[in-house]
């Protein structure tokens, strides 16, 4: 692309949009522009919505703190699986960060969480009938039992739980069941492919155990073809013996599948020292700005503080955490005191239990709180394109769609009916909000990283992240001003 | 994000979309699914549009070749500035690739192109008044004259050409003019920030020369703060002495600016051995599928084969090249013979002269060809969101907007009036097509890489790239079927 093209008349329409900045921006990351003095709240209430949204975005893009916060969460705290010391450090960091913002209220909600640990040993090998060994990239699935030493057995490959159910017992007993259905790459949304392949990881090992297998190997849930195994929760069935369950990288899965075709008698050796320890005490972290007009009406915005243990949980869900913090900061720094109460919640234990989510909903119900809406960011911190909406009546959907012209200049006007988020979903039954929203960003790269050692800070782009915080703040501002 | 959430009822609507694939995809990159036998052309003409588009996307996502083609172009050919041996290799590769596709016609269009070479020496140093030296990351701007040895002079910093014009001669004469206006980060579209800052690179050095400066230093055109200098064309004025012009990385620019505040008498030493050699013969590469019903009506789809010399020109514009090739391949492999002629053009010399663009338009005019529309991809190969449209009447715009429901399932229904592309723009006057289109994708990461050594193959994401080719093919298919 050349510049000259952009200076021609045809470009004028593209250039006409948000040029409210009088002087050229000096927004280098390390030399932040000093913020203008926050306008008086009374004045802010009178601002046209388009101006209010532009203020939020200026703050996000010129002085945004999501990226720096994420850097700390990823590089100074790191992986933070529920029950781990790092999860506890993340709770403390979250509380301190909220306290420094001068909010109306910051508090913790105690919750007991599962405490699963991966342990030191984690290794897989394909062993040919003749004894030749080939290492395979594996990781234990979250919640798996360990192998108690080395576990060696033959392998039976299936593409689905149905296919497993149709196998005779003799074909399964004493073996590893190898679930190897890949992502359907024809789907446009990787999240759909994840949903369609995910039963293998979630329910496959339990079914394998029920059928007498000694373990389960599951193809990693991704379109990428590389050597990163993807962890994630597996759930055992009551009454069926829990068997060790591991993810194979897609390269290892392809290799195992190919070798099986030539050598059906090969075996797999798995060693994993993972185990489940007693539950630990942990917390949701909550901060709120009290509504100026309707303080009893609550809008929740959140992400989850826990992550898997293999990497930094940058996109899953560090980005959702820092964006939720940023929504409060943007409102304050822009002098836009919300009419309704806005509450940021950093949920604990989304990845392997969602106990923080259950606790938040339960406490809200017990306190008979009035919840207008909730917004969750848990799909990665990539370029935003809008929101999903769940549990909303046609009238409420229409009300939200009417805001599209305000959101369009920022490319966050997309609104599709769909799942909003695991952490806010329990609110639907508990306190019947008018709508749940999910932050919806570009997700083509998300499942390359998801639950792997590659989900690190360097995969997050500063502007993409800050644009997401801006878009979330814009929606929350409109929700807080108009209700639903 | 957990899977269980995606399996709940609320997700059903999200999952309902394109599930035409009967069996789970086996689309590992290296094990391509065999394509179904191409439907008879007669049959294809009867296909509902939604089915035709789904066929194009299935082909792109399950058996796409854009990524492999780009790998070759980037890693086996590499940088390909006009006039270079690699540009010539790219021409040969483009021709061979088109010939292997079994098109109706493949040919070259000869064009003489500028031949600028960077040379071996390229170095910049900031020298304090006391003689302390600090290396600064620089690169010559494309088209710059060399320094003929080391060029040392004081530095005067400005933020704009206007600011330079207002300086007294004495403040400029014998110095380097340092253009240091950053990107306006408040703008949502990085392309707008590029357009707004770009006069410094394009016209700044000429203005500096006219005012008696000995050289020009230009802050790199990016929001990123790193140590990559960004090259790109600068244009000298007739009658003003051409002075050496270099880009500084944003880190070097910030450093120089800060040091100047403390030490206004510091100097800068620049050594560059770049030069302009005599023009070279080169080519546009053209391949076409003749229209089944209206062969005389032409739809052009293109990208540019040349790149800057610092890196592989992956996103600028290898992605546009391979996507344009892919449009033809997708149509053929899906058995969708277009009603109108579809022509892929790999333009030469977009970066520093656009002579290939001028030649293509001139030949079209001379041959009195009928051009319905043209589509260019030259903004990076990231996740698509739609198209820009240029030079179209309100009626034509309305016709295109009516296709939005067909394009929406693939997130390519965005249509905004704006610049379509440098290589197709000359067609507007030459052969008055009804509309020009620009492929419009996410661009937040584009100017981190643009014209730098970082614009390499590994920055391109397979699915993002193939989705772009699918979207371009979808638009071209509709244009070819319905005209404008």
Q: Which residues of B, range 231-290, sit inside 8 Å of A by Cβ? A: 232-233, 250, 254
Of the candidates B85, B10, B66, the residue with the CA atom closest to the CA atom of residue B321: B66
CATH code of the domain covering residue A443: 3.40.630.10
> Do residues A168 and A190 share a domain?
yes
Q: Cα–Cα distance between B52 and A460 in angstroms, integer?
A: 36
- Determine the Cα–Cα distance for residues B67 and B465; give it in Å rounded to an integer: 7
CB nearest B188 (choices: A195, A411, A421) = A411
pTM of this structure: 0.92
Q: How far is B285 from B299, CA to CA, in rounded Å? A: 15
Measured between beta carbons, the chain A residues lying within 8 angstroms of B445 are 461, 464
pLDDT at A20: 34
Residue B59, in any domain of the structure: yes
The Cβ-side half-sphere exposure at B275, using a 13 Å CA radius, reads 9
Residue among A24, A190, A350 minimizing CB distance to B159 = A24
Beta pairing, strands A133-136 & A122-127: antiparallel
Q: Which two tokens stand for residue A131?
A: 């004894």
Residues A470 and A371 in one domain: yes
A62–B442 C-beta distance less than 8 A: no
pLDDT of B23 reads 36
Instruction: Please list every residue in chain A whose beta carbon sits closer than 8 Å to the beta carbon of residue B64.
Output: none
Give the residue from chain A lying closest to B5, CA to CA. A422
CATH number of the CATH domain containing A253: 3.50.30.30
A186·B225 Cβ contact <8 A:
no
| Yes or no, beta carbons of A25 and B185 under 8 Å apart | yes
- A254 chain-B contacts, CB cut-off 8 A: 28, 31
User: How distant is the Cα of A448 from the closest Cα of chain B, in angstroms?
Assistant: 10
- Residue showing tokens 């505040």: B261
- A215, A293: one domain: no
Contacts A334 to B, Cβ<8 Å: none
Task: Tell whether A128 and A110 lie within a shared domain.
Answer: no
Contact by Cβ (8 Å): A318, A459: no
Give the contacts of B366 (CB within 8 A, at least 6 positions apart). Answer: none
Cβ-Cβ pairs closer than 8 A, A with B, add up to 254
Please report whether residue B10 resides in a domain: no
Are both A347 and A438 inside the same structural domain? yes
Q: What is the pLDDT of residues B225-266, one digit of tens each?
A: 999 999 999 999 999 999 999 999 999 999 999 999 999 999
Say if residue A18's pLDDT is above 50. Answer: no
Asked whether the beta carbons of residue B182 and residue A354 sit closer than 8 angstroms, the reply is no
**Are B5 and A422 inside 8 Å of each other by CB?**
yes
Q: How many CB atoms lie within 10 A of CB A366?
A: 9
In a domain, A1, yes or no: no
* Interatomic CA distance for residues A458 and B152, integer angstroms: 38
Predicted confidence at residue B12, as pLDDT, reads 36
pLDDT of residue A46: 76
Of chain B, the percentage scoring pLDDT greater than 70 comes to 91
Split at pLDDT 50, 70, 90, the class of B14 is very low
Tens-place pLDDT, residues B95-127: 999 999 999 999 999 999 999 999 999 999 999
Q: Quick one: pLDDT at residue B46?
A: 76
Instruction: Kindly state whether residues B460 and B393 are assigned to the same domain.
Output: yes
Mean pLDDT of B191-208: 98
What does the pLDDT read at residue B1?
55
Q: Do B461 and A445 touch (CB under 8 A)?
A: yes
Domain-terminating residue out of B273, B288, B314:
B273
pLDDT in tens, B45-56: 579 999 999 999
Contact across the interface for A383 and B444, Cβ inside 8 Å:
yes
Query: Chain A window 185-214: which residues touch B at a Cβ cutoff of 8 Å?
Result: 185-192, 194-199, 201-202
Confidence (pLDDT) at B360: 98
Domain membership of residue B323 (yes or no) is yes
| B15 found inside a domain | no
Once rounded to an integer, what is the mean pLDDT over residues A437-446? 98
Contacts of B420 in chain A (CB under 8 A): 10
Between A9-23, A435-449, B407-421, the lowest mean confidence (pLDDT) is in A9-23
Q: Is residue B346 domain-shared with residue B427, that is, in the same domain?
A: yes
Mean pLDDT of chain B: 93
Q: For residues B329 and B59, what is the distance between their CA atoms, to the nearest angstrom? A: 9
Which of A273, A291, A313 corresponds to the end of one domain?
A273
Q: What is the mean pLDDT of chain A?
A: 93
Question: Average pLDDT in the A151-156 region?
Answer: 98
Question: Quick one: A338 and A478 in the same domain?
Answer: yes
Contact B442, A38 (CB under 8 A): no
Give me the pLDDT at residue B449, please.
98
For residue B44, pLDDT beyond 70: no
Q: What is the pLDDT of residues A338-385, one digit of tens each?
A: 999 999 999 999 999 999 999 999 999 999 999 999 999 999 999 999
pLDDT tens digits, one per residue of B55-92: 999 999 999 999 999 999 999 999 999 999 999 999 99
Residue B32 has pLDDT above 70, yes or no: no
Taking the C-alpha atoms of residue B471 and residue B414, their distance in angstroms, rounded to an integer, is 11
Structural domain contains residue A370: yes
Interchain pair A11, B61: CB under 8 A: no
Q: Does B386 touch chain A (CB under 8 A)?
A: no
Q: B293 CA to chain A: closest CA distance, Å?
A: 31
Residue at a domain's end among A216, A239, A273: A273
| Structural domain containing residue B430 | 37-115+278-482
- B345: part of which helix (H) or strand (E)? strand B340-347
Q: How far is A293 from chain B (nearest CA, A)?
A: 31
Question: A188–B21: do the CB atoms touch at under 8 Å?
Answer: no
Interface contact flag, B232 A2, Cβ < 8 Å: yes
Q: How far apart are CA B414 and CA B383, in angstroms?
A: 12
Which residue has tokens 């539950």?
A279
- Digit-coded pLDDT (tens) for B297-321: 999 999 999 999 999 999 999 999 9
Asked whether residue A50 carries a pLDDT value surpassing 50, the answer given is yes
Q: What is the pLDDT of residue A29?
A: 40
Which of A21, A24, A444 lies at the smallest CB-CB distance from B464?
Answer: A444
Q: Which residue of A13, A187, A419 is in closest CB contact with B417?
A: A13
| Contact call for A444 and B463, based on CB within 8 A | yes
B48: how many CB neighbours lie within 10 A of its CB? 9
Residue of chain A minimizing CA distance to B232: A2
| CB of B50 less than 8 A from some CB of A | no
CB contact under 8 A, B192 and A62: no
What is the Cα–Cα distance from B415 to B401, expressed in whole angstroms? 7
Residues A70 and A185 in one domain: no
Indicate whether A91 and A133 sit together in one domain: no
Shared-domain flag, residues A136 and A47: no
Write the Ramachandran bin of B197: left for phi over 0, alpha for psi from -120 to 50, otherwise beta.
alpha
Q: Is the pLDDT of residue A34 over 70?
A: no
What pLDDT is recorded for position B20? Answer: 34
Asked if pLDDT for residue B359 goes beyond 50, the answer is yes
Q: Which long-range contacts (CB under 8 A, 24 or more apart) does A45-49 make?
A: A45/A292, A45/A337, A45/A339, A47/A336, A49/A406, A49/A477, A49/A478, A49/A481
B362-410, pLDDT tens digit by residue?
999 999 999 999 999 999 999 999 999 999 999 999 999 999 999 999 9
Residue closest to A382 by CA, chosen among A306, A450, A467: A467
CA contacts within 13 A on the Cβ side of A206 = 13
Number of domains in chain A: 2
Query: Are A216 and A293 contained in the same domain?
Result: no
Pairwise CB contact (< 8 Å): B186 & A61 = yes
Question: In this structure, is residue B261 part of a structural domain?
Answer: yes
Which tens digit of pLDDT belongs to each residue from A249-289? 999 999 999 999 999 999 999 999 999 999 999 999 999 99
| Residue of A25, A185, A390 to mutate, interface with B, max B Cβ within 10 Å | A185
Q: Which of A181, A419, A442 sits opposite B6 (nearest CB)?
A: A419
Rounded CA gap, B482 and B49, in Å? 11
Active site residues of B: 350
DSSP A424: T
On whether residue A422 sits in a domain, the answer given is yes
Instruction: Enumerate the residues of chain A whose CB falls inside 8 A of the CB of residue B232.
Output: 2-3
Q: Which of residues 395-414 of A touch B (CB under 8 A)?
A: 409-411
Segment B424-449 mean pLDDT: 98
Q: Which of A207, A271, A297, A350 is catalytic?
A: A350
């Amino acid at each position: 692309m050349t510049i000259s093209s952009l200076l021609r008349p045809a470009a004028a329409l593209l250039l006409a949009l948000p040029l409210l900045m009088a002087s050229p921006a000096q927004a280098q990351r390390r030399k932040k522009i000093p913020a203008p003095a926050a306008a008086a709240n009374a004045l802010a209430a009178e601002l046209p919505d388009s101006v209010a949204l532009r203020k939020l975005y200026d703050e996000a893009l010129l002085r945004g703190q999501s990226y720096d916060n994420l850097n700390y969460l990823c590089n100074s705290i790191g992986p933070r699986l529920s029950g781990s010391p790092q999860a506890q450090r993340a709770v403390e960091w979250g509380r301190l960060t909220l306290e420094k913002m001068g909010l109306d209220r910051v508090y913790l909600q105690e919750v007991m969480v599962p405490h699963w640990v991966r342990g030191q040993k984690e290794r897989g090998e394909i062993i040919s009938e003749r004894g030749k060994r080939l290492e395979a990239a594996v990781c234990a699935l979250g919640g798996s039992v360990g192998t108690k030493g080395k576990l060696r057995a033959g392998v039976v490959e299936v593409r689905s739980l149905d296919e497993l159910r149709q196998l005779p017992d003799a074909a399964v007993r004493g073996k590893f069941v190898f679930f190897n259905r890949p992502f359907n790459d024809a789907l446009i949304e990787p999240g759909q492919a994840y949903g369609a392949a995910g039963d293998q990881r979630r329910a496959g090992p339990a079914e394998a155990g029920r059928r007498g297998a000694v373990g389960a190997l599951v193809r990693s849930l991704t379109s990428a073809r590389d050597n990163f195994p993807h962890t994630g929760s597996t759930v055992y069935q009551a009454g069926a013996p829990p068997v060790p369950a591991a993810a194979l990288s897609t390269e290892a899965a392809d290799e195992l599948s190919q070798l099986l075709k030539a050598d059906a008698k090969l075996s797999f050796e798995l060693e994993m020292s993972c185990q489940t320890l007693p539950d630990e005490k942990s917390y949701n972290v909550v901060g709120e700005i009290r509504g100026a007009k309707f303080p009893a009406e609550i809008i929740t915005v959140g992400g989850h503080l826990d992550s898997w243990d293999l990497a930094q949980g940058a996109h899953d869900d560090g980005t959702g955490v820092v964006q939720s913090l940023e929504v409060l900061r943007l409102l304050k720094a822009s002098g836009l005191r919300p009419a309704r109460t806005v509450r940021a919640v950093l949920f604990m234990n989304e990845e392997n239990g969602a106990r923080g989510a259950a606790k938040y909903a339960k406490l809200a119900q017990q306190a008979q709180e009035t919840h207008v809406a909730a917004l969750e960011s848990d799909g990665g911190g990539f370029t935003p394109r809008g929101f999903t909406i769940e549990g909303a009546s046609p009238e409420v959907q229409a009300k939200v769609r009417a805001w599209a012209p305000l959101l369009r200049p920022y490319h966050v006007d997309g609104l599709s009916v769909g799942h909003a988020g695991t952490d806010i979903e329990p609110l639907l039954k508990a306190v019947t909000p008018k709508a749940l929203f999910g932050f919806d960003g570009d997700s083509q790269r998300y499942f390359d990283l998801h639950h792997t050692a590659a989900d690190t800070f360097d995969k997050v782009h500063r502007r993409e992240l800050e644009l997401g915080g801006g878009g979330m703040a814009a929606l929350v501002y409109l929700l807080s001003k108009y209700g639903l």
